[in-house]
Amino acid sequence: MSLIVRRGVSLAFVVTLVVASAMWGTAPATAVSIPLATVKPAVASGRLHSCALRSTGTVVCWGDNTYGELGNNSIVQSLVPVQVHGVGNKGFLSGVTAMTAGNGFSCALLSTKAVDCWGYGGDGEMGGGSIARSLTPVAVHGVGNRGLLTNVTAITAANSFACALLVAKTVICWGANDSGQLGIHSNTRALSPVAVHGVGNNGQLKGVAAVSAGSSTTPCALLLAKTVVCWGANVNGELGNNSTSESSVPTQVRGVGGAGFLSGVKAITGAGANSSCALFSNGGAACWGLKAALGINSSPGNSLTPVRVHGVDDVGLLAGVTAIVDHSDTPCALLSDGGVDCWGLGINRLGNSFDGPGVVPVQVHAVGDAGLLSGITSISAGELVGCAIATTRAVVCWGDNGNGELGDGTVANSGRPVQVHGLNDVGFLTL
């Protein structure tokens, strides 16, 4: 491993939720392969690269590789998926149950409830107590740099930091902290995990059901009470607390229109570039922050509290949503009928062959522009791309492709989905 100078551009994303508890100790057992039925295939996109978890518990990545974020012991970019190597560059990484990607780095949650990361480490993204990068996976250390991290149930990464949800329903984070995104009542970076503080800096954040780092510097947590807290940057109202002041500890998100506090929430996104969103138990959605990214047929200014996302063509309100993700202020929603709607600022990222913004949701088109995208089981988003997994376990992505983020063997941007190629450019990727 070696030190490396930080890249100049700041945004990075993913869309992985996290569930875990703050514990540390001796090294966890060696990761082992797990039964196919227990692994849910997934895709996670960072700033300039993407990774996919296969049903075998192995991981493939594609796109930029300047910092080793593809995990294949090189710094050569790949326009098609390559397999992530194992810890110490031994064999291939296996026993993975979830993964996430950030700005120049990637992380995997193992069946042992431990976490491995690889790629850029200049702000402590590797979680190992140093600022060294790694071209292959390395184990994240425990809180306070003691032992190795364990008892993790979910992970999420964004712009130069990552978080984990623990079995105890608490949250830990590590990495950059310039906007207070680690939630520890300071702006000091952490080279190994630290426990997120409670609302109002009261003890430790507890009773967490899920956490999403978003894509920049404003993570949010869904509580078991179905309410939401966020912390970090707040330039455009990303915290949803009716202010534009950043907060280095969690603050509670206000209700729609500022009334009371947000409740009845089923899932969340941390902030994209400047907006955050929540999915309600009834299938509706609300977002807050930069108005142009909220899907409310308005572009100037900000909304400092949540507003309901409008329907396609500005008809009624968005409904039937089963999952929601955000990338660079271009949220997308997976619908109960297997379709996908997107809205916001996304040049090439709305998935409907249009390269301009969408002030209300639009329907994502199918590969080859043959009708509308359908049969989708999950969605994900990065800073520059959106991706979806079909019932066939095929993967499609759309958006910017200057570093091979779409995995189709080219660097051509695509405003509609293209199918990701197979490992080493053989056929098409199936998870």
Q: What is the pLDDT of residues 338-376, one digit of tens each?
A: 999 999 987 888 999 887 788 999 999 999 999 999 999
DSSP conformation class of 425: G
Amino acid found at 46: G
Lookup: tokens for 153: 């149930």
Q: Please, how many CA atoms are within 13 Å of residue 380, restricted to the half-sphere of its CB?
A: 34
| Sheet containing strand 285-290, strands side by side | 265-269, 275-280, 285-290, 302-308
- Mean residue pLDDT of the chain comes to 91
Q: Is 178 left (phi over 0), alpha (psi -120 to 50) or beta?
A: alpha
Cβ–Cβ < 8 Å for 403, 73: no
C-alpha 224/C-alpha 206 separation (Å) is: 9
Residue 373 three-state SS? coil
C-alpha 365/C-alpha 86 separation (Å) is: 37
Q: Which helix (H) or strand (E) holds 100?
A: strand 96-101
- Contacts of residue 315, defined as CB under 8 A and 6 or more positions apart, other chains included, come to none
Give residue 337's pLDDT. Answer: 98
pLDDT digits (tens, 9 = 90+) for 156-202: 999 899 999 999 999 999 999 999 999 999 999 999 999 999 999 99
| Sheet containing strand 228-232, strands side by side | 208-212, 220-223, 228-232, 247-252
Give residue 15's pLDDT. Answer: 36
- Contacts of residue 30, defined as CB under 8 A and 6 or more positions apart, other chains included, come to 112
> Which ranges in 209-334 belong to alpha helices (H)?
none
* Ranges under pLDDT 50 in the chain: 1-37
Distances (CA, A) of 292 to 215, 303, 304, 343: 17, 10, 13, 9
Find the angle CA(6)-CA(7)-CA(12) to the nearest 5 degrees.
105
Q: For the domain 20-27+38-425, what is the CATH code? A: 2.130.10.30
Give residue 353's pLDDT. Answer: 87
Q: Which residues pair with 175 in a beta bridge?
A: 161, 190
Burial class (CB within 10 angstroms; exposed 0-12, middle 13-18, buried 19+) of 90: exposed
The ranges assigned to domains in the chain are 20-27+38-425
C-alpha 26/C-alpha 254 separation (Å) is: 41
Instruction: Tell me the torsion sign for CA atoms 4, 10, 16, 17.
Output: positive
- Contacts of residue 94, defined as CB under 8 A and 6 or more positions apart, other chains included, come to 31, 32, 33, 56, 57, 58, 86
- Contacts of residue 344, defined as CB under 8 A and 6 or more positions apart, other chains included, come to 272, 275, 292, 293, 294, 295, 329, 330, 331, 350, 357, 358
How many CB atoms neighbour CB 35 within 10 A?
10
Cβ–Cβ < 8 Å for 15, 146: no
Q: Which residue has the tokens 């929603």?
A: 333
Q: Which residues pair with 238 in a beta bridge?
A: none
Lookup: tokens for 118: 């690889």
Amino acid found at 283: G
pTM (2 d.p.): 0.91
Lookup: tokens for 181: 């995104």
